[in-house]
Amino acid sequence: MADDGLTIGKIYKFKFQATNKDSRVSEYSDIARYALVDTPAAPDAPTVIYSMTNESQIAIEWSKVTLDAGQEIGQEIEGYFVEVLEMNKAIGSEASSATEGKFVVFYNGTSSPETTQILVKSINGEALKPGFEYIFRVTAKYLNGHTAASAELSTWACSSPTLAPGIEW
């Protein structure tokens, strides 16, 4: 089916029904919504909130996606997804990664789309590990799917440095 009369910036609703080779007709699908719009830009790379980060937690934040004027219909951001990759960088450590060498969705922000800051204390039920590298990236959810991923942020969960007596920052 093709329709050449679609309008950019308008939201369309579809439902589908199938007929098999024996002429049996299915029930209608749920209504699917789709907007004829450009994909919004990817979020900026997340950053570490150092004042809230230590050996047992990492705090990150990111900027909201800014939409192009006149292109907001169908591009509204419905929430942010944060993905994390945990990598064992500890010398001599045999500890395994909670993410098994791949990015996993750590945070699904569709229930609170205004959130642009999270605190990470564990991944897949496992506490953060000293000596492990944590790589974060963010995508924004909109009507038609997700934006491209942000640039990646690489950081570690670690203690604040200790200075020798008499030395100040």
Question: Residues 107-133: what's their mean pLDDT?
Answer: 90
To the nearest whole number, what is the mean pLDDT of the chain?
84
User: What is the pTM for the complete model shown?
Assistant: 0.75
- Rounded to whole angstroms, the Cα distance separating 48 from 53 reads 8
pLDDT above 70 for 122: yes
C-alpha dist (Å) from residue 8 to 72, 119, 137, 141, 162: 11, 38, 30, 19, 58
Q: Which pLDDT score, from 0 to 100, does residue 159 have? A: 60
Q: Give domain limits for the chain.
A: 39-156
Q: What is the pLDDT of residues 153-162, one digit of tens each?
A: 999 877 655 6
What's domain 39-156's architecture? Answer: Sandwich (2.60)
d(CA 100, CA 83): 13
Q: What is the pLDDT of residue 93?
A: 63
Question: In angstroms, rounded to a whole number, what is the distance separating the alpha carbons of residues 46 and 155?
Answer: 11
Percent of the chain with pLDDT over 70: 83
Rounded mean pLDDT, 5-14: 74
